[in-house]
Chains A and B, each alone.
Chain A
Amino acid sequence: MATELLMPALSPTMEEGTLAKWLVKEGDEVKSGDILAEIETDKATMEFEAVDEGIVGKILIAEGTEGVKVNTPIAVIGEEGEDMSTASAAPAAEEAPAAAAAAVPATAAAPVDFAPSDKSPDWPEGTEMKSMTVREALNEAMAEEMTRDEDVFLMGEEVGEYQGAYKISQGLLDKFGDKRVVDTPITEHGFAGIATGAAFGGLRPIVEFMTFNFAMQAIDQIINSAAKTLYMSGGQMGAPMVFRGPNGAAARVGAQHSQCYAAWYAQIPGLKVVMPYTAADAKGLMKTAIRDNNPVIFLENEILYGKSFDVPVMDDFTIPFGKARVAVEGDDVTIVSFGIGMTYAMEAAEKLAEEGISAEVIDLRTLRPIDYATVLESVQKTNRCITVEEGFPVGSIGNHIGATIMQEAFDYLDAPVINCAGKDVPMPYAANLERHALITTEEVIAAVKQVTYR
C-alpha cells in the first residue's frame, strides 16, 4: 500500500523546516537506511532516512521549499506497479492530541493547605522529662529505629569505628555490627548514589554527610535520583531514606564549610526537609524521618549538638512533619525561625519582653512541608512578622514565608515582613567578620522594633 512520507520533526523544538535537497527521484527503489533527503531544521542540516523499503512514487514538495510544516506529506512511497499518483491515497497523519494546557487551573502557585493549625501537644501532659543533648537525642532516635526495623542501616564517613566525626553515631557499631553501620570511603557522590539504589532495592538507608557542605558533591543523586524517581516512575518506586548531617556555619571554619542549605533543599518537590532546634524535636523528627517513605533531608547543626533540652521519656516518641511549634506565645509580633535561627529568636524575644514587647516565636521545624497555618494564624493575631535564619538572604526561606503572608494575609499586615538572614557574602574566617556575617540578636531586635514602629 502506498504511504505518505511526512515532513519529520528532527529536533525537540522543530515546527517547520526547509526541504533542502532530494537525494532520490521518482521511480527510485529505496531500502531501509537510505537517505532520501536533506532537511534543514532549526538546529542543523539532517539526513532523512527511509524506514521501509519501496519505490519513490511522487515527490510532493520540491527541493528548496522553505517553511515546510512538520507532518506535511512530502512524498509517496509504495510498491512496484502501484498507482501512487494521488497523494490522498494514504491516510492523513493523525494529529497528536492538542495539549490540554488551556484546562490547567489559572493559579500559578502550588496549592497551600490552609486547614486550621494542629494545636495538639507534642506529648501528653505530665510525661516524665529528662535533659538530653541534641547529640544524644539523635543517637537515641537512630538506635531505636534500627532496633525497630532491620532494613534501616547507617552509612557514611567515620560513622563506625571512629564513632562519628561529631559522635552522633557513637556506640551504634557495637550495637548493630558492621553490616548495619557502614564506614564509607571519602566519596560522597558515590555513596549517596549507592544508598539511593539500596533504597530503590527496598532498604531504608540513613546517609550521614560529615557536613552538608560535602553533600554538594552528591546533590545530583539526592535531587535527580532520590527526589524525582517516585514521580518519574508513576509511583512504582521511590527512595525511603534519610540524608542527615550538620548544616550551616559552625565556628571559624571559613567559606567552604559554613553554608546553610535549607532553602536549596526546601525548593525540591519530592524531598522532605527537617531542621530541628531542640533535642526533643531532633529525636521525634528523626524517628519520623526514618519511618517516612520518602527521601528526607535532615539538617542538623554542629553548635546545637552539645546543647541540652528536656526530652519526654516515652516508649515511642515521634513528631509529625508539617507541624510548627509555638515556642513562645505573644501578641505584638510574630518571629518565624527554625534550626539555629531559633537561638537568636528566643534571645530576642526575652530581651523584647523586658521592654514590654510581646513576641510570638514560631519554630517551623520542618521546611517541607511547611506549616503555613500556624504562621498565618499568628500573623492574623499580631499583624507583624519577621523571619530569622542564618542562610544567605537571596531566595531564602524567609523570602518564601514573607511572600506567602503577603499573598494570603495582606490585609492583616500593619508593616512589611522583614527577613533577617545571613549576609550576602561567603563566610569570612576572621572572628569579628564571621560574627557580623551571621545574624545577631541585635539585628532581630531592631527588625522587631521596625515592624512595631517602636
Chain B
Amino acid sequence: MAAKKTSKKSNVSADELLAYYRDMLLIRRFEEKAGQLYGMGLIGGFCHLYIGQEAVVVGLESATKEGDKRITSYRDHGHMLACGMDPNGVMAELTGREGGYSKGKGGSMHMFSKEKHFYGGHGIVGAQVPLGAGLAFSDKYKGNDNVTFAYFGDGAANQGQIYETFNMAALWDLPVIFVIENNQYAMGTSQARSTSTPDLYTRGEAFGIKGEIVDGMDVLAVKEASEKAVAHCRAGKGPYVLEVKTYRYRGHSMSDPAKYRTRDEVQKMRDERDPIEQVRDMLLTGKHATEDDLKAIDKEIKGVVNESAEFAKESPEPDLSELWTDIYTDA
C-alpha cells in the first residue's frame, strides 16, 4: 500500500492523542467481542467487522461539530461508536434485542441514531451516497453550516448512483464529504481486479470535485485531511472527495473464507501499519503516557465492551407487538 501524506508533525495535544487511542481501541475491542458473540450464535445474519479501519472514522470525526451528519454502508459499527453512540445500544441491536438502537428490528446493517445524527447503516452497496448528499441538501436548504460525511467503500465506488450524486452535489454545491474507505477489497475482489484506474480520489475530477488521498492507517493524517475537507464544505465551496487508504483485517463478513488474499499480506499490515499500535508508539515515545496508563485504558475499554456484551445478552427480545409498529408514523 502506498502510504501518502503521513503527518507526524500534526499539531496534536497529548490529550487528543490519548482520546484517539481510546476511541480506536474501543472499536477494535467492540468488534472482537461482536465476532465472539457471532461465533456463539448470539448475533445472526451478516456481520461486517471494522477491525483494521479504526483510524478512518476516528480521524474524520475529530473535525466534526454538533449538527454534522454521517451515513455509511453496512460496515457501520465503527462509525456509530466514533460518533458517540452507546456501545450497549449498538451491541444489543447486533443481538436483535429490545435495548438495541432500532429495538432489534434493524440489525448490524441497519442502525440509526437521530440524536447523534447517524443516518445508517445501509445494506445496499452505494445507496447511502445519494442519501448523504440529500442530508447535505437539507442543511443547505435550511441555511446552516453543517456538513455530511457520506462513507462508502472501494467496491461501492463502481456503482453508477455515486456519479449521479457527484454531478448533482457539485452542481448544487452541497456540503458533503464523500469518504471512500478504500480497504482494497470489494468483498473478495481486489481493487486491481474491479477498478480500471487505481486512484479513486480522482473520481470526482470529472465533476469538478476536489479529491485527496489519505493514509487511513495514520489517524493524524486522517484528522488533518478531515479538517481541510470540513473547512471547504463549511465555507460553502461544495463537495469534497477523500480517498482514505485502509485495510480490513477480518473477512468481508463473518462467513468469508478469505481465499482471495494471503495471510502474510494481512499479517504484514497488522505488524507494520496497525493504526492503534502507531498511536501507542507515539504516546510512549513522546512520553505522553506510560505503559501503565495505557494498560488502565485497555482495562477500562474492556470493561465497557464486556458491559455492552452483557447488556446485549440480558436485554429481552422485542415484544411480538413490535412486529407491527414503526411501519407508518402519524407524528
Contacts and interface: CB of A to CB of B under 8 A. Distances in A.
Interface of A: 6, 8-12, 14, 32-33, 35, 41, 43-47, 51, 70-71, 93-94, 96-97, 100, 103-104, 111, 153, 179, 184-185, 187, 189-203, 220-221, 224-225, 229-238, 269-270, 272, 293-294
B258 A47 contact: yes
Given A33-B249, A191-B164, 18 more contacts: A10-B39, A10-B254, A46-B255, A100-B317, A100-B320, A103-B320, A187-B164, A194-B130, A197-B137, A198-B135, A199-B134, A203-B137, A203-B141, A224-B124, A233-B110, A233-B114, A238-B329, A293-B331
A233 B327 contact: no
A231 B326 contact: yes
A11 B43 CA distance: 11
B329 A200 contact: no
Given A35-B263, A225-B122, A190 B326 contact: no
Contact of B135 (A46, A197, A235): A197
Given A190-B161, A194-B168, A197-B137, A237 B114 contact: yes
Nearest to A190: B164
A198 B141 contact: yes
16 contacts: A9-B254, A47-B258, A190-B167, A197-B119, A197-B133, A197-B134, A198-B134, A201-B137, A201-B138, A201-B139, A220-B127, A225-B127, A233-B112, A236-B102, A293-B329, A293-B331
Nearest to B96: A96
A189 B257 CA distance: 34
Contacts, number: 205
The residue in A44, A97, A103, A229 that gathers the most chain B C-beta atoms within 10 A of its C-beta is A229
Interface string B7-46: 0000000000000000000000000100110111110111
B106 A232 contact: yes
B105 A234 contact: yes
B50 interface: no
Given A194-B165, A232-B110, A9 B39 contact: yes
Nearest to B133: A194
B209 to A, nearest CB: 14
A96 B127 contact: no
Nearest to B100: A234
Which are the 10 A-B pairs with shortest beta-carbon distances?
Answer: A197-B134, A193-B130, A190-B164, A201-B138, A8-B39, A11-B255, A197-B131, A44-B257, A234-B102, A233-B112
A195 B327 contact: no
A180 to B, nearest CB: 9
Interface string B110-143: 1111100001111110010111111111110110
The residue in B95, B111, B132, B164 that gathers the most chain A C-beta atoms within 10 A of its C-beta is B164
A51 B32 contact: yes
Contacts of B316: 97
B272 interface: no
B325 interface: yes
B187 to A, nearest CB: 13
A185 B112 CA distance: 30
B127 A12 contact: no
Contact of B326 (A41, A97, A191, A235): A235
Given A10-B255, A237-B114, A237-B119, A193 B129 contact: yes
A44 B120 CA distance: 30
A81 to B, nearest CB: 21
B160 A189 contact: yes
A41 B164 CA distance: 40
Contacts of A43: 255, 257
Contacts of A14: 255
